[in-house]
Structure 1
Amino acid sequence: MQKEMNPCYDVTIIGGGPTGLFAAFYAGMRDMKTKVIEAAPYLGGKLPYYREKFLYDIGGIEAITAEDLTKELEAQARTFDPTIVLSQLIETMERLDDGTFRLTSQTGEVHLTHTVLVAAGGGTLVAEKLDLPNARQYEGRHLHYKAESLEQFRNKRVLISGGGDSAVDWAIALASIAESVTIVHRRDEFRAHEGNVAQMRNTSVHIMTSSLLCGIHGDQERIYEVTIEHFDSGEISVLEIDEILVCHGVKPDLGEIKHWGLKIERGRVIVDAWMQTSIPGIFAAGDVAEYPGKLPGLIAGGFMEGPAAINRAKAYLEPYEDIKPIWSTGHPKLMAIHGES
C-alpha cells in the first residue's frame, strides 16, 4: 500500500467516461489539481462498447462515431495535464481528521483528495449474458457481447439478439456488409429510437419480433445454426448462422460506492441542483446522479452536470471566495495553447 505522503488533489474524478473527461477539462480551466480514476483499462466509459456507432445528439457535431468522440474527449481532458489512472476500481472512502478524503482501490493504492466527483455512470458495466447452456464455449469467438469492428462480420450470416438502440444500430451497420442479418427480439415493439427502427425496416435485415433465441448448435470450433422460439405460434424455427451478437444491455453496479453512506435510490446517487451529494465535499454527475427533472442517458446532460459539480467543488475548497462560473472564451491558458493573442 502506498504511503500517506501521496500528493493531495483538489478534485478526484471517479470515472473516465464522457462526463468525467469533460469535468476534468473544466477543472483544469479552474486551475484545480485534478486526478481521474477509471476502473477499466481504457477511457470512454460505455463508448468503447460501440466504437463504430454514430452519435447524432452531441451539440454542434452533426455525427461522430463513439470511437472518435472518445479520442476528442480524451485529448480535451488532457489539456491541463490531469493525472489519469486506469485499471483501478475505487472501493473504500474515508474522511480524514483534516477533512480530506482517502480513497483506496482494489489494488490497495491510496489516493488523497480534498473533493470527490463521482462520474461512474451506472458503475462497473457487466454485459448481460445469454442464458443458454453452451453459450460460454463460443464467447469471444462466434458469440459476441460487443463487436470490435464491422469487418469481423463481413460476408457472415449474423444473428443479433436484442431490441434496444445498440441492437438496431448494429443491424443497420451490418446490413450492407454481412451475407445476412437477422434480429430477434422478444417483444412486439423495439425499444430503440423510432427513426432508427424505421431505417432498419428499410434494409435487408430479417426481423423476428415476439421471438427468442433458445438454442445454439455447433461443434467445438464454430456455430452452425440456432433455434428460435416464436411466442405467437409456439413454433420453433431453425436458422443457419455463423456469428451471434448479443445486445441485451449491460448491468451497472456501483459496487462498494453503495457503502459510502451516500443517499442512493434505485441505483443512483441523489444530488441537489449543484450536484452535491448527502456527504459534503462529494459530488456526482452524469448517469450516476439523480435529481428532479433529470434527463437520463444523454451525454450532453453530463457535459452540463460535470462543470456544475466542479464549480461547487471549487466553492467548497474556497468558501470565502466569490466563485463564479468560468468560460473558455478569453481563458488565458487556452488562448496561449491555441496561439491566440
Structure 2
Amino acid sequence: MVKDLYDVTVIGGGPIGLFTTFYSGMRNLKTKLIECTSELGGKITMFYPEKTLRDIGGITGIKGGNLVEQLIQQAKTFNPTICFNQRISDLERLSNGTFLLRSEAGEIHYTRTVILTVGAGIFKPIKLDLPYSERYEQYNLHYSVDELERFRNQRVLISGGGNSAVDWANELVSIAKSVMVVHRNNDFRGHERHVSEMREKTEILTPYTLKQLHGDGDFIQSVTIEHTETGLTKHIEIDALVVNHGIQGDYGKMAHWGLEMREERFVVNHAMETNIPGVFAAGDAVTYPHKLKLIAGGFTEGPIALNSAVRYMNPNAESMAMYSTHHEALLEMNHETLY
C-alpha cells in the first residue's frame, strides 16, 4: 500500500471545497485539498472579496473575503494536507481500486476517493472587446472590485446586467461620487430586491452597450455608449469603468475523464455520486434536478458527497459525521477556548 495514500482528495479550494475538507476531518479521514491557484476561496477571492454576502443562514451580511478567511480557518481544524498551484489533469484507477491523480506539472497524488468542488473550472472574466481596452486594465478598467476604497469619490460606470453588476452598483453607491449602470437589455438578471435597490440609487441606461473608450493611453477619461435599438450615442465622462460581462470556466482535461456532463456541469445523483464510482462532486460544478445555486446549497452538497465517499470505502460506516456539539475533538477545542 502506498504510504501517502489519502482517504479523500478534494479538488478545488473554493468555499464548498473548504467546508467539505473540514467535514472530512469531522469523519477522521486522511484528507488532502488541491487548489489550482495560489489562493483559497475560489470565485469569491478572485472576483468579489469586498462584496457583501447575505444569503447564508444565520449571517446577516459578511464580506466575501471575511467569509473565506473563516472557511480557511475552519478547513484547517483537523490539519489536512493543502496543495497550491496544481491543476489536476489526469485521473487513473489503479489495480487495487485506488486513484492516481496527476497535475499538469507532473505532481502525483494517491487517493481512495475524489470529490470535485471545482466550480466552473479555471475562471476568467469575459473581457471587453474594444480597441486598446487592454492598455487600461492596469489603471481604471476593472473586471472585479478588489478594494472599494479605490473608487471613493469617483464617477463609476458599470457595464453589465447580472448579479455581479447589480451587487457592485449597490456596494459602490456609498463610496463613489456617482454610479451609472449601462446594460444592453432593459431587464437585469440579479435578485429582484437588489435590482430594485439599484434602480433607486443609481442612474440606469438601457438598452445601451459600450461603443468606444477615450483616454490618454493610461486612464480612460470618457466612454461612448450606443443605444442598441436606435443607434444613437452618448458621451459620458468617467473616472473608473467596471466591466461585468460574465466569466468563462475551463475544466481542462478533467472534462475528458468520462464524467457525464450536462450544460457544462457534472451530472450527479441525490448522493452527489458521478457516473465514475469513487468520484463525487458538489457545488457549482454539479447539476441535478432542483439544484439550488447558492453557497448554502453547496454547504449541504459537500458533506453529502463526503458521506457517500465514506460509504463507498466502507458500506457499514455511519451515514454521517457526529454533530459538532458532540464531536470529542471539537468539544476539547471548545474547552480550551473557554479556559
Q: Distance in 2 between matches of 1:230 and 1:187?
A: 10
| Percent identity over paired residues | 50
Q: Which residue does the alignment assign to 1:9?
A: 6
Q: Which residue does the alignment assign to 2:138?
A: 140
Q: Distance in 2 between matches of 1:328 and 1:174?
A: 38
Task: Find 2:320's aligned residue among 322, 325, 333.
Answer: 325
Contact 1:41 1:86 in 2 (8 A): yes
Q: Is 1:294 aligned to residue 291 of structure 2?
A: yes
Q: Which residue does the alignment assign to 1:309?
A: 305
SS of match in other structure, 2:123 = strand
Q: Which residue does the alignment assign to 1:62?
A: 60
SS of match in other structure, 1:311 = helix
Q: Distance in 2 between matches of 1:336 and 1:174?
A: 43
How far does residue 324 in structure 1 lie from its aligned partner after superposition? 2.1
Q: Is 1:335 aligned to residue 327 of structure 2?
A: no
Q: Distance in 2 between matches of 1:243 and 1:6?
A: 54
Structure 2 segments unaligned to the other structure (5+ residues): none
- Deviation digits for residues 234-254 of structure 1 (CA, Å, limit 9, x no counterpart): 211101112111111211222
Q: Which residue does the alignment assign to 1:121?
A: 119
Q: Distance in 2 between matches of 1:64 and 1:212?
A: 32
CA spacing shift, 1:323–1:5, aligned 2, 3 Å: closer
Q: Residues 231-310 of structure 1 correspond to what in structure 2 (within 5 A)?
A: 231-296=228-293, 298-310=294-306
Q: Distance in 1 between matches of 2:159 and 2:254?
A: 32
How far does residue 282 in structure 1 lie from its aligned partner after superposition? 0.4
Q: Distance in 2 between matches of 1:5 and 1:314?
A: 19
Contact 1:6 1:112 in 2 (8 A): no
Q: Distance in 2 between matches of 1:164 and 1:131?
A: 18
Q: Residues 136-175 of structure 1 correspond to what in structure 2 (within 5 A)?
A: 136-175=134-173
Q: Distance in 1 between matches of 2:244 and 2:17?
A: 25
Q: Distance in 2 between matches of 1:18 and 1:60?
A: 17
Task: Find 2:89's aligned residue among 84, 88, 91.
Answer: 91
How far does residue 6 in structure 1 lie from its aligned partner after superposition? 6.4
With structure 1 as the length reference, what TM-score do the two structures score?
Answer: 0.95
Q: Distance in 2 between matches of 1:322 and 1:84?
A: 26
Q: Distance in 1 between matches of 2:270 and 2:174?
A: 46
Q: Distance in 2 between matches of 1:8 and 1:307?
A: 21
Name whichever of 26-35 and 53-62 sits farther off: 53-62
Contact 1:225 1:241 in 2 (8 A): yes
Read off the aligned partner of 2:38 and give its amino acid letter: P
How far does residue 221 in structure 1 lie from its aligned partner after superposition? 2.1
Q: Which residue does the alignment assign to 1:30?
A: 27
User: Over aligned residue pairs, what C-alpha RMSD do you find?
Assistant: 1.5
